[in-house]
Amino acid sequence: MRQSARPLTPEEILGDDIQRLVRDMKDTMYDAPGVGLAAPQVGLSLQLAVIEDREDLLKALPAQEIRDKERRPVPFHVMINPRIVSLGADKVDFHEGCLSLTGFSAVVSRARSVQVEYLDERGEHHSVEASGWYARILQHEIDHLQGTLYIDRMHSRTFTSIDNWNRFWKGRPLPGTSADASST
């Protein structure tokens, strides 16, 4: 988890082991539930992540939170050997959580927009420009592939248990913003 993962070769990407890993990671992400999962989180130091922000997860959120976070459904996709091409200059602060550090949350400042190039599970090249919550998910998962966790980027005074977040922050704006402070 704390080291840079190794890139996958085209042969590995198309092999049975990686194809099975993608299916297993998708199931694990759904079961959590989460919006992203990187191979290092399941003990494999490989540059592979799965992402999906399902509509059913959004239905439980207040409309204002969805607007503030610029959150919308993101279809399932696989990112292999991703590379951030550009980060937008605008930064936004929101609470983040992580499947690897369950039970905690902290405010993390991230670029509001990002451009990422990656290979999919068929080895095909993609480039995506993302903004809002999707951009945050991409940055969070790519961080995992570089050995970085959200706690390395957090505003340390905001680190809290989920119980305290629910008690003191859920549904409330962060100081200086109108954004609801819920976690990823």
Positions annotated as catalytic residues are 141
- Angle formed at CA 4 by CA 151 and CA 47, multiple of 5 degrees: 105
C-alpha 171/C-alpha 81 separation (Å) is: 36
Task: Find, among 104, 92, 180, the residue nearest to 137 by Cα.
Answer: 92
C-alpha 114/C-alpha 72 separation (Å) is: 16
One-character DSSP codes across 88-132: -S-EEEEEE--GGGTTEEEEEEEESEEEEEEE-TTS-EEEEEEEH
86 token code pair: 């550009």
139 token code pair: 């940055």
In the block, tokens 């959580």 appear at 97
